[in-house]
Amino acid sequence: MGTGWCTAQEIDSTYANSYYQQRMRLFATLPESKGGIVFLGNSITERGHWNELLPGKRIKNRGIGGDNTFGMLARLSDITAQKPAKLFFLGGINDMARNLPVTVVIGNYKRIIEQIRKESPKTRIYIQSVLPINEALLTAPYFKGKSHLIPELNKGLRQLALIYKIPYIDLYHDLFTDEEGALKEAWTPDGVHLHPEAYVAWVDYLKKQGAL
């Protein structure tokens, strides 16, 4: 698998580290099944116990810790080949950590949407907003100073959702942001990732939105 350099723009879009490859090997060994619900994303998605939170539904967790939108795009065909009924997509914070421009991330989202539409046209796509971070609690220095970029990215994602007429799930404003615009302190151990109770609230919110 390639490492995804985007040399024309002189940006680091590598993704295929050892953990990515380990997860891809895992996915390749799992039984193939058509339909179901896919959660596609990075470590925030990977850490969600979606099957337990959504009993009775066929869930496929396709989160990979540390992944960016280049890595998600590279593995998308493996997902569309199984023709999921629904796909919930959340990615971009690791792109921000690598200083990838917002325009590049939005461009990758556009490519992902168009590829899903082409390869699995009956799949219902849901774009989930990038979550806020809480810089006061950060343990990973590469997320420092990125808070202001997230609303800009989410604005672009909302516009994409309008253009492609697909649902936009505003987790940022409706669920995870405190009065100061940061990720709620009670819901995060490190300023980026989530405590278990945050996932419970997340699933409840998706249900209230009619997405699940």
Q: Does residue 7 carry a pLDDT above 70?
A: no
CB 182 within 8 A of CB 136: yes
10-49 confidence digits (pLDDT tens) = 566 777 688 989 999 999 999 889 999 999 999 999 999 9
> In whole angstroms, what is the distance from residue 192 CA to residue 189 CA?
8
Task: Give residue 17's pLDDT.
Answer: 82
The verdict on pTM exceeding 0.85 is yes
CB 197 within 8 A of CB 176: no
Write down all domains in the chain, each with its CATH number in brackets: 7-208 (3.40.50.1110)
pLDDT mean over 85-93: 98
Strand partners, 168: 127
Whole-angstrom CA distances from 35 to 38, 39, 64 are 9, 13, 21
45-82 confidence digits (pLDDT tens) = 999 999 999 999 999 999 999 999 999 999 999 999 99
CB 140 within 8 A of CB 190: yes
Whole-angstrom CA distances from 121 to 59, 77, 125 are 19, 13, 10
Whole-angstrom CA distances from 88 to 32, 172, 211 are 19, 15, 9
Query: Residue 198: CB partners within 8 Å, gap ≥ 6?
Result: 176, 184, 187, 188
